[in-house]
Amino acid sequence: MGEPETQGIDGTPADAPEHGIYGEDGVIAAPFLAHIGAAIADRDTLALKEDVGSLHTSEVGDLLEALIPEQRRALVQLMGEEFDFTALTEVDEAIRLDIVGSLPNAQIAKALQHLESDDAVYILEDLEQADQDEILSRLPFTERVRLRRSLGYPEETAGRRMQTEFVAVPPFWTVGQTIDYMRDEQNLPESFSQIFVIDPTFRLVGAVDLDRILRTKRAVKIEDVMRETRHAIPATMDQEEAAKIFEQYDLLSAAVVDENERLVGVLTIDDVVDVITQEAEEDLMRMGGVGDEELSDSVLAAGRSRVPWLMVNLVTAFLAASVISLFDGTIEQIVALAILMPIVAGMGGNAGSQTMTVTVRALATRDLDIYNAGRIIRREMAVGILNGVIFATLIGLVAGIWFQDVNIGGIIAAAMIINMFVAALAGILIPLLLDRLGADPAVASAVFLTTVTDVVGFFAFLGLATWWFGLL
């Protein structure tokens, strides 16, 4: 969020002696925090405006997150007009809502007018419909229209993330005219790296990078230096999809167009970077069996977000237990089996989740497709057998020596090879299948996998034992 800056950094986490707001570890330094806390307690508006006003909005965001709720609200109120709401796009949703909720809609509306449209939308979209409408109604007509248009697009689409401020010129202008226009025009976007070329009906015809303009003689026509933008990003495109395009074509910014190919905004790389990190985070959380949970969530919220996953795992667990119960007779006679069986299931589960991790990630990055799927499946099976044999030998030896029984050693070794092989197969086939069925492999794979490795692990080990010792 915030406008992209092409510049060296004013105060980096690493070393910012000027205003040493960060400690060595990259978190807000205690002295600075104490200083701000004191200023808030003293309601020392001047000091706050000076010390906080000079920070980058992302630094203000970190500061807000380090403060306690009361201090946060107080800080924003004390700074009044001087507080840049862009900082609110840098904090947890819960914190943002808490702060915004503590302010009168009139003040919010006033503040939003100074923001770039994408940041304003980012703050507005989480508010109650009623507050949203009231705030919008207090905005000047053009801004209201722009924001309403963005908010009109579904969440997590390019239209929601786009910035509606941009520079657009007609194709017949010369480079000279364009430069003069930019020199005179007062309300240009805070920063931009390309200008768009549009026809009288606002339909997008092309784009020109600023460096291109600077290299070109004044007399040259824009249409002669512009690049055709045949495939601008549709406003309704999913943000993750848009991010993939940015990644693939190394874009800094891209035109966003409505269903009539009309230019409605521009998507910039800094917002895309946020999307990329956010999506990566979601992948990781899903694989860990956690919902879209935030650090600032309450106990109940966090608890609730984790129950579903535990619930499915519960079913799996009982399924595995019922497999064991098939062999209670055997266990009664050879307790060693009860002692060793978790090893077979557990190792299978770990080996399988390794394969699964590789597969899920490869699917997410589109590195795994019909062209190499066959090869990868064969590879994983080979790896499964290879590691299966290695660990079967190891475990077989240890178990055999432990219980002074070569049969036990042989049985667990055989069971290990079977389970490691099945685990590898399940580890790649389950995500592939889920992906084909349109389900998110990151979410569901782990459950099915553990089910397979537990069931197969217990069944193979206890089954082999029952048969071998003739206890059928």
Binding mask 273-312 for a second copy (x = CB under 8 A): xx-xx--xx-xxx-xxxx--x-x--xxx-xx--xx-xx--
Nearer to a second copy, 239 or 253 (CB): 253
Residues 167-206 that bind a second copy (CB under 8 A): 179, 182-183, 188, 191-194, 204, 206
* The one among 21, 28, 415, 434 contacting a second copy by CB under 8 A: 28
* The one among 162, 376, 429, 465 contacting a second copy by CB under 8 A: 376
Residues 118-137 that bind a second copy (CB under 8 A): none
* Alpha helical stretches, state H, 335-440: 335-364, 370-402, 406-436
Instruction: Establish if 345 lies at the interface with a second copy (CB under 8 A).
Output: yes
| Residue type at position 127 | L
Stretch that binds a second copy, among 42-50, 97-105, 157-165, 383-391 (CB under 8 A): 383-391
> CB 311 → a second copy: shortest distance, Å?
8
* The one among 46, 130, 219, 370 contacting a second copy by CB under 8 A: 370
Question: Which run of H or of E encompasses 287?
Answer: helix 269-287
Instruction: Establish if 401 lies at the interface with a second copy (CB under 8 A).
Output: no
Beta bridge partners of 266: 163, 255
Those residues with Cβ within 8 angstroms of residue 324's Cβ, 6 or more apart along the chain or in another chain: 331, 341, 458, 462
Instruction: Establish if 418 lies at the interface with a second copy (CB under 8 A).
Output: no
Nearer to a second copy, 44 or 270 (CB): 270
CA-to-CA distance for 40 and 33, rounded, in angstroms? 11
CA-to-CA distance for 472 and 467, rounded, in angstroms? 6
Residues 426-465 that bind a second copy (CB under 8 A): 450, 454, 458
DSSP string computed for 375-404: HHHHHHHHHHHHHHHHHHHHHHHHHHHHTT
* The one among 43, 114, 203, 227 contacting a second copy by CB under 8 A: 227
447-451 long-range contacts, Cβ below 8 Å, gap at least 24? 447/309, 447/312, 447/313, 447/316, 449/349, 449/352, 449/353, 449/356, 449/423, 450/313, 450/316, 450/349, 450/352, 451/316, 451/319, 451/320
CA-to-CA distance for 421 and 426, rounded, in angstroms? 9
Instruction: Establish if 368 lies at the interface with a second copy (CB under 8 A).
Output: yes
* The one among 54, 58, 177, 407 contacting a second copy by CB under 8 A: 58
Residues 347-366 that bind a second copy (CB under 8 A): 347, 350-351, 353-354, 356-358, 361-362, 365-366
> CB 90 → a second copy: shortest distance, Å?
9
**Tokens standing for residue 81:** 């007009």
Instruction: Establish if 207 lies at the interface with a second copy (CB under 8 A).
Output: yes
> CB 144 → a second copy: shortest distance, Å?
26
**Tokens standing for residue 334:** 């050879």
**Tokens standing for residue 182:** 């930019």
Nearer to a second copy, 75 or 139 (CB): 75
